[in-house]
Amino acid sequence: MAWLPPLDVALRPILLPILLWQSIGVRRAALSLPEAAGLREGQSGTGPKLRLLIVGDSSAAGVGAQTQSEALSGQLVKTLAPKFSVTWRLIAKTGATCQSTLEMLEADRAVNSDAFDVAFIALGVNDAVRLRSKRVFLRRHQAVREVLRTRFGVGAIVVPGVPPLSDFPALTPLMRWVLGNHARRLDGALSQALSKEECIAFLPFDLPLTSEAMAQDGYHPNAESYAVLGDRGGMGISALMREGGVDS
């Protein structure tokens, strides 16, 4: 029996003009929130030294929170600080894809030479929205990880799953169906690819994206959700450090 593509993929040639029209309407109606204010590097905590690099898109940049202390970076550090002396830095930008993140990382190496023990990579939503193929997405995500290892000295990596676009309140039902299915496929492919690598932790994205858990724009986490994500991410980092022989 011949292989048949998923229904949403088979219908893309018909649906793409509608999706494009709806996406323009969603962008026009959407509340545009800024990235969280505050420092993008710092030091906190006591204990064994831990150098942390946070990389990614608007979720890494803290859109939906007022300050970096309330955002993902601050919540990761808050979870880790009781166990480690954390030196951290954030390289993130709203709209970032794997490809643009590669460019940000290369630009950083042109002016900085600091090294890190662990990296937290928050990427995938913008590649999913662009309907990037699994092959291209996996290749570019791997390239990000490779640059972090070879140019930033990173030994361990934590990667949260691709958020379920099917649950995003800001999207239309059609966008949730098409983009949600694609995000789910990218998420599964990424989880499988990372399972073959050492010193890496994949964190399934199982945070319920209800209106109470989202920022006003219906597209980003709010401060309460960043606290949950930071706690889970911090525990994942701690586990990798224990496996690597860094006592907490």
For the chain, what is the total number of helices (H) and then of strands (E)?
9, 6
- Phi then psi for 65, rounded to 5 degrees? -115, 155
pLDDT of residue 244: 72
Domain ranges (residues) in the chain: 37-243
pLDDT of residue 30: 77
The encoded tokens of residue 121 equal 């990579």
3-state secondary structure of 77: helix
pLDDT of residue 248: 47
- Phi then psi for 2, rounded to 5 degrees? -65, 145
Identify the segments of the chain with pLDDT beneath 50: 248
CATH class of the domain whose range is 37-243: alpha beta
| Gap between the Cα atoms of 78 and 234, Å rounded | 8
* pTM, entire model: 0.93
- Phi then psi for 38, rounded to 5 degrees? 125, 175
